[in-house]
Amino acid sequence: MRGHSEQLIEEMVEVHQNPIAAWMEMLKNRRLAWRLARLHGEVLVREIFVALSELPKFPLANWLWNADRPLIPLYCFLRTRRDPIFRVIKIETAPFVVIAHIEYGNASSEKPTRERFSFDRDNVGRLQVIQREPLR
């Protein structure tokens, strides 16, 4: 909990220092979240985020751990410019499989990591990652 609080305080300081850039990023994140929710449904997008947070050694699990809470807006989990970057490039749905192309990493690095995650439902009905492969 302390780590989460420290990260939130650091972000609040950044927003206070440059409010226009923070506002522009918030607008981009809201637009991306709205598009994802419109195309695929907010419930499915949240399920994907929760499945990613449960993945061992996923670097952004600490950002996505509470994605199943409907009171937290979906755009809060997307990060287009600030570290760490987290973007959903594409989501494909099939009858039994969901495939998501995710981009994440540091904004300071030249190219963030792009990966393709395949999800399947377990016997309880929750999404779980069945395959993870890099894209390039």
Average pLDDT, the chain: 90
For residue 75, the Cα-to-chain-centroid distance in whole angstroms is: 9
State yes or no: pLDDT of 17 exceeds 70.
yes
Confidence band of 1 (pLDDT split at 50, 70, 90): low
How many angstroms separate the CA atoms of 41 and 39, rounded? 6
pTM over 0.85: yes
What is the domain count for the chain? 1
* Residue 77: domain span: 2-134
Name which of 127, 79, 128 is nearest 104 in CA terms. Answer: 79
* Helix, coil or strand: residue 53: helix
Cis ω before 84 (30° cut-off from 0): yes
State yes or no: pLDDT of 69 exceeds 90.
yes
Mean pLDDT of 22-29: 92
CB atoms within 10 A of CB 44: 18
pLDDT score recorded for residue 13 = 87
H helices, E strands: number in the chain: 4, 4
Name which of 45, 98, 94, 52 is nearest 74 in CA terms. Answer: 45
